[in-house]
Structure 1
Amino acid sequence: MLGFLCSRQLLPLKHRRTHLGFLQQNGFFIVKSFTSVGSLPESNQKPEEEEKHSFAVSYLINSCGLSTKSAILKSRRLLFQSPERPDSVLNLFKENGFNNAQISKIVRKHPQILLSDPEKTLLPKIEFLRSIGVSSSDLITIISLYPFLFRCNLRKRVIPCYDFLKSVLLVDEKVLTTFKRSPRAFLSNVTKTMAPNIALLRQLGAPPSTISFLVTNYPSSAFTKHAKFAEVVHQVMEMGFDPTKTVFVEAIQVLLKMSKPKLESKLELYRRWGWSKDMALAAFKRFPSCMQSSEEKMTKTMDFLVNKVGWPPQHIATNPVVIKLSLEKRTIPRCSVVQILLAKGLVKNNLALGTFLKPTERKFLELFVIRFQDDVPELLNVYQGKMSSGCRISV
């Protein structure tokens, strides 16, 4: 056997690949290989490291509920031989209301948490979150989604971030809303990200209400790196947005998520449907989120409203919010109802799109279904998709 292996090393490289079947018989091991002997991996781990690695894998499987594959992958940086520290971490989570599935999720995302000091590193952050009003259920949800929060230094990162948010938003309820919408915010250095962004908005004349709207509704945008944030803000200003209005903030968050070429592509798509450049820009200024839909969604909606319903493109431009609405769940069912009402002369021909597409579900039913049910008993069935309207809106 040894002679075979030694002689094999003298073969040319192209002949060195082979298939050897390895069995363990009488103390001899035969390895199954599809590569040359020269490429067989050799462990650089010391025996004690291998033992710790093996223990970590077993612990992740048996105590944390990870699969074998996941445990092997996550254990690469977990070298421990005693269950004392990881057990104390798991116990801390259980004492604070986390179930096994939630703990397993946390460990999969952040396995190094098992090496943390529960009393010095984990508990103070949990207690701080409770102190600012985070409920037990929200605490579990937030930590399960973002266990990396435990990496943040409480004194140097988390508390300064909270204090700054409080200075901007003034009330704990809004700070808490911001935190729940974007726990990652506490991973950022507030003095390098949000602080200069807020200063820029104030410089441009944005009132506290507009700034508060940005921070509470789009915290990830508020924490964008300043260079990128400033670039987009100036782009929005050049489009003519008023920094005193909340739509100014909505435009910022849309453009932060969209490259200039992508925006131009979507504007061009609208132009192909009959919008002029000024009309497309006006629609964006009315409702910036009309640019957030995919081009496929935009095309389907325009095709339905223009070609199947017969609505002039310029009417859609004055109600761009309809682009964002669900075509299947909202636009088509409501148009089907209005088609019947128009055909029977029960509503005016010049009915604006926003009149029946923008109201809430309850309001729409009151105004366009229940109100006319005696005249058209089948309206509710049409609205629920059980019948076809068979009509066409004309304006």
Structure 2
Amino acid sequence: MLRFRSCILLTRLLSSPTASPSQGSSLRRLLAAAAAPRISPNPRFAVEDYLVSTCCLSRAQALKAYAKLSHLKSPAKPDAVLAFLAGLGLSAADVAALVARDPQFLCAKVETTLSPNVAGLTSIGLSNAEIARLVSLAPGYFRNRSVVSKLEYYLPLFGSTGDLFRALKYAYSLLGSDLERVVKPNVNLLAECGLGACDIAKLIIGAPRMFSAKPGRVLAMVACAEGIGVPHGSGMFRQALHAVSYLSEDKLAAKVDYLKKTFRWSDTEVRIAVFKRPVVLRRSKDTLQRMSEFLISEVGLEPARIAHLPVMLGLSLEGRLRPRYYVMRFLRENGLLKRNQSYYTIVKWTEKEFLDKFICPHKDAAPYLAEDYASACRGEVPARFIFA
């Protein structure tokens, strides 16, 4: 019965519009093998050749995969797995990518693991296409029966399969974390700190390591966030947790000291900046140094002003801060800036708003301004933006 089902599913895979002629030929050989009666395993079964001719791997990929499949003595189990994948709708190219990434998937048990997982995921609302995507994203975890209970927990947390799969794209290791001893306690702890499901879901995407860490480690992160002046319950608490999740206590203290020295901030000013924009803790020292030199020495902003408007430190120096400063100065020196606009006012606008307010109105008086601004955004300094 299994072999009959395999033949049907392989036929579907053969008819996939994405299958190349060479892939189709390989799969036809697999179909013929699946249809033929099998008396006994072939003692000369060549795994590497099977991976190339049937799974469409390159010879180099097959050689690498062979180390994990050298124990195979027969194509029976891989044939069944390929038929299963065909039934999910994976193309020949998808199958090749999956096998290259996780060769041991060919050894999974279809009847006792893969098919029950499909049934379980279908019961919680996933479509065949979504299940196929999950297999491609995390084949190793799909070989474990716990994948159903984990998705059943994560789905309401993220609110939709779309948001869940976007998270798994960057943090598929969540499927390997222990739900009862690690994930749930961490989620409950963050909920007690005032984070809602939406914030927790965003934190999972931005800092997935938090949800595979022991609860004691997450509690320490909460303490660090509060220690830098961002109490739980504040609007910036999630961002503060995201920032400190990548830093040890020593590195965090060193980064705070570096901010004070580089921007000439007092203890109070650095706490204000971090409270308003925790992401500054994740900026590299080189970036912070260049921003300090530009904002203080070239633009002429006071350190205290920067501390109260730290959103600027989250913007691109080369792609936004510097080019807009050039435009502002050009307009001012040519008498085209009607009001005394502050530098922060100019950099805070979206790109479309900036063009509408500061570039387009001057196309007659300064016909090259748009071109010069575009050049500045690419890192060039047009002659008209060189000021005496």
Please give the range of the TM-score, normalised by the shorter of the 2 chains: 0.7 to 0.9
Distance 2:352 2:178 in 1: 44
Return closer, same or farther for 1:277/1:159 CA change in 2, 3 Å cut-off: same
Q: Which residue of 2 aligns with 1:303?
A: 293
Is the radius of gyration larger for structure 1 or structure 2? Answer: 1
Shift of 1:199: 2.4
Q: Which residue of 1 aligns with 2:283?
A: 293
Identity across the alignment (%): 27
1:72 aligns with 2:63: yes
Conserved? CA contact 2:229–2:271, under 8 Å: no
What residue identity is the alignment partner of 2:314?
Answer: K
Return closer, same or farther for 1:99/1:316 CA change in 2, 3 Å cut-off: farther
Q: Deviations over 1:106-143 (max 9, x none)?
A: 21221110011334433444565566666777655553
Please report the RMSD computed on the Cα atoms of aligned residues, expressed in angstroms. 3.2
Shift of 1:285: 1.4
Q: Which residue of 1 aligns with 2:48?
A: 57
Return closer, same or farther for 1:138/1:219 CA change in 2, 3 Å cut-off: farther
- Equivalent residue in structure 2 for 1:146, among 138, 152, 157: 138
Shift of 1:189: 1.6
Q: Which residue of 2 aligns with 1:270?
A: 259
Q: Which residue of 1 aligns with 2:363?
A: 373
What residue identity is the alignment partner of 2:265?
Answer: W
Q: Which residue of 2 aligns with 1:312?
A: 302
What residue identity is the alignment partner of 1:58?
Answer: D
1:282 aligns with 2:277: no
Conserved? CA contact 2:89–2:132, under 8 Å: yes
Conserved? CA contact 1:98–1:140, under 8 Å: yes
Shift of 1:173: 5.9
Shift of 1:298: 2.1
What residue identity is the alignment partner of 1:329?
Answer: G
What residue identity is the alignment partner of 2:77?
Answer: R
What residue identity is the alignment partner of 2:286?
Answer: E
Distance 2:210 2:386 in 1: 45
Q: Which residue of 1 aligns with 2:104?
A: 112
Distance 1:138 1:342 in 2: 55
Say how many residue pairs are matched.
338
What residue identity is the alignment partner of 1:309?
Answer: V
Q: Which residue of 1 aligns with 2:33?
A: none
Return closer, same or farther for 1:84/1:208 CA change in 2, 3 Å cut-off: closer
Alignment of 1:323-342 (within 5 A): 323-342=313-332
Q: Deviations over 1:247-280 (max 9, x none)?
A: 1011112111122232233323322322223322
Q: Which residue of 1 aligns with 2:150?
A: 161
Q: Which residue of 1 aligns with 2:187?
A: 198
Conserved? CA contact 2:236–2:275, under 8 Å: yes
Structure 1 residue runs without a partner (length 5+): 1-50
Q: Give the secondary-structure state (helix, strand or coil) at the position aligned to 2:320.
A: helix
Conserved? CA contact 2:359–2:369, under 8 Å: yes
Structure 2 residue runs without a partner (length 5+): 1-42, 377-381
Shift of 1:208: 5.4
Q: Which one scores higher on RCO, CA 8 angstroms, separation ≥ 6?
A: 2
TM-score normalized by structure 1? Answer: 0.73
Distance 1:123 1:372 in 2: 65
Conserved? CA contact 1:56–1:80, under 8 Å: yes
Shift of 1:385: 0.6
What residue identity is the alignment partner of 2:102?
Answer: H
Return closer, same or farther for 1:234/1:269 CA change in 2, 3 Å cut-off: closer
